[in-house]
Each structure stands twice: as structure tokens, then as C-alpha cells.
Amino acid sequence: MASVEKDPVTGRYTTGHEWDGIRELNTPLPRWWILVFWVCVIWSIGYWILMPTWPLLNGYTPGILGYSSRGDLEGEIAAQKTERAVWLNRIESLPAAAVEADPELLTYARAGGRIAFEENCAPCHGIGGVGAFGYPTLADDEWLWGGTIDEIEQTVKFGVRNSNPNTHLSEMPKFGVDGILTPEQIEQVADYVLTVADRAPVASLPGAAIFAENCAVCHGEAGEGNKEIGAPALSNQIWLYASKLGNQTPEIRDAEIRATVIAQVTRPRHGAMPAWSERLGPGTIRMLAVYVHTLGGGR
């Protein structure tokens, strides 16, 4: 090991370390670096006193400032709530229809409703309420459980076929599986339903009598539906469980609808929707109702 000696080139001493003839200069750290180092050390002492830092056996030192990131969040949310309360209090205190009648509130509610809709509703009902296979379109004027603003709000609040005590409930009988109708009768009634959907029911069809006896009690004599029990209208070309209208020929479309009706009568599918009052506040729900009602098809 070499001893500490003066390096002739730099005039500095070496550390005395030597590896394979290479020696190490003992260059001191720059003054600014030393300064920053000690400032950091002093800063840390102040930090220990002010902020939560040291773990103890059963807790930690809270610090004089009592900082808490979760506490901060509570403050931020409270501040946001106060800021929004200006609008939300008015929206919550007025009936939904009155919110819609006030242009200022309507603008606020539609903007807020759209945000909430895209996060919570669009996964099923699509952006802008375009609907999807099995999930009703909300931008048209056909409604399962009613399209007035209060009915929409009720549906958003309590949902459909869920565990909430106020949820919309109804169940279509399993006409095929439970043997209420024979497969032949189901085909006949499907043929008749196709004429109902065309708004030209052919009373002479054998399915007409079966329809009157089994289906009309919920879906109506003329297939107009019943919003009290969520029975869809059959007197139109809106089908929940059929693909969207594309460029199919009428024959192919008819065949698909007929198969859909047969499947539904044989073993009905039932849609479900969460009760959003369990997740969202009353103001958000009212804004959602306003948004959906003004999508284009509100009654």
C-alpha cells in the first residue's frame, strides 16, 4: 500500500490507496456541496418536528403541524362540496321538472349529468345513451319504465331487478320452458307479434288468440306495452335483444326478430340495473335524470 504523498501534477495529496499502480487523489468535496448537505441535515430536523416522521412502538410522532394526507383530502372534498353547493342545493331542492325549466340550472345539470353518465351509465347504455344489445337506448322516445323526468329519476335511483327494496321488479313467465305454450304456439305467436310490430296486426292469424290470452295482459291488446311493470311495447321496431338495424334485407331482419321473439317467449331474459342511490348522491342522480331526459326522447 502506498503512503499518502503529494501529487506533482495537481499539487493535491493522495488518499494513500493504490490499485495496480493507480493512486487516488484526495480531492475535497466542493464547498457548495458541503453547504447543501448541512442545510439538508438542518432541514430534516425541522421536518421531524413539524411533520409526522418517527415511528414509535404503537404509533408515530404526529408533528406540530398535524399534517395528514387523508385529512387534506377531506378538506379538498369539503371545499369542492361548498363550491358546488351553490348549484347542487338549488338542483336538489327543486323538482326535476323545475330544474329543466331553468336555463341556467339546465346547463349545469346537463354538463354534470354527462360526466356522471359517461363514468357510470355509458358502459351499458353507450356514450350518449345509444344503447346496446340488451341495454335500452336512452336517446329515443321508447321507454320500458317510463320516460317522464320523474320516472327516469326513479329508475336511476332504485334500478331494475336488484336487491334494493324499491327496485323495479317484474318477471315474464317462461312460457316455453314451463310448458304454458307449446313450441308450435310460440312460433304462431311470434308470427303474430311481427305483424303487431308492423302496426298491422292480422287478427286472422292463429297467434292472435294466443297473444290476446297470454301476452296482452302485460304487453297490451295492441302491443302498446305497460310502463308500470316494464313490459316493452311490441308495436314498434325497437327490439332489446336484437342486433342494431343494419343493412339487412327485410327477410333476414324478420327472421332475426322472429327468432328473438321465440327465444324470449320460450325462456325470457331479464335485464338488471343497479340502484344508483346506493352509490351516487341525490344531486348527481337528479342531474343524470335531466341529462337522460334531454337526450332527445324524454316525455
Partner 1 sequence: MSLFKHHARIETNALLLTVGIVVTVSVGGLVEVAPLFSIESTIERVEGVRPYSPLEQAGRDIYLREGCYNCHSQMIRPFKDEAERYGHYSLAAESKYDHPFQWGSKRTGPDLARVGGKYASDWHVRHMIDPRSVVPGSVMPGYPHLTRPLDYGDIGTRLKVLRQVGVPYDDAQIEGAAHDLEEQALADPNGAPPPVVARYPKARLGRAVESPENGPVTEMDALVAYLQVLGTMVDFTQVDPALIRR
Please tell me the distance from the alpha carbon of residue 270 to that of residue 56, in angstroms, as a whole number: 57
Under rule CB under 8 A, residue 71 binds partner 1: yes
Footprint (CB under 8 A) of partner 1, residues 12-51: 16-17
Nearer to partner 1 by Cβ, of 74 and 141: the residue is 74
- Residues numbered 136 to 155 that lie near partner 1 (CB under 8 A) are none
Q: Which is nearer to partner 1, 116 or 152 (CB)?
A: 116
273 is in an annotated binding site: yes
Whole-angstrom distance, CA of residue 23 vs CA of residue 17: 6
Name the residue nearer to partner 1 (CB basis): 83 or 104: 83
Report in angstroms how near the CB of residue 107 gets to partner 1 at its nearest.
20
CA distance linking residue 151 with residue 128, whole number of Å: 19
* 274/67 Cα distance (integer angstroms): 38
Q: Name 160's bridge partners.
A: 168, 273
Report which of 123, 112, 146, 282 is spatially closest to residue 225, judged by C-alpha positions.
Answer: 146
Of 205, 229, 209, 206, the residue nearest 219 (C-alpha)? 229
Contact between 69 and partner 1 by CB under 8 A: the answer reads: yes
Handedness of CA 198, 203, 204, 206 (dihedral sign): positive
SS3 content of the chain, % helix, strand, coil (to 5): 50, 5, 45
Interface with partner 1, residue 74, by CB under 8 A? yes
Residue whose CB is less far from partner 1, 84 or 258: 84
Residue 73 within binding range of partner 1, rule CB under 8 A: yes
Q: Which residues participate in the annotated binding site for heme c?
A: 121, 124-125, 172, 215, 218-219, 273
Binding region:
121, 124-125, 172, 215, 218-219, 273
**Residues found near partner 1 in the complex (CB under 8 A):** 1, 16-17, 55-60, 68-74, 76-77, 80, 119-120, 123-124, 126-127, 132-135, 162-163, 177, 267, 269-274, 278-279
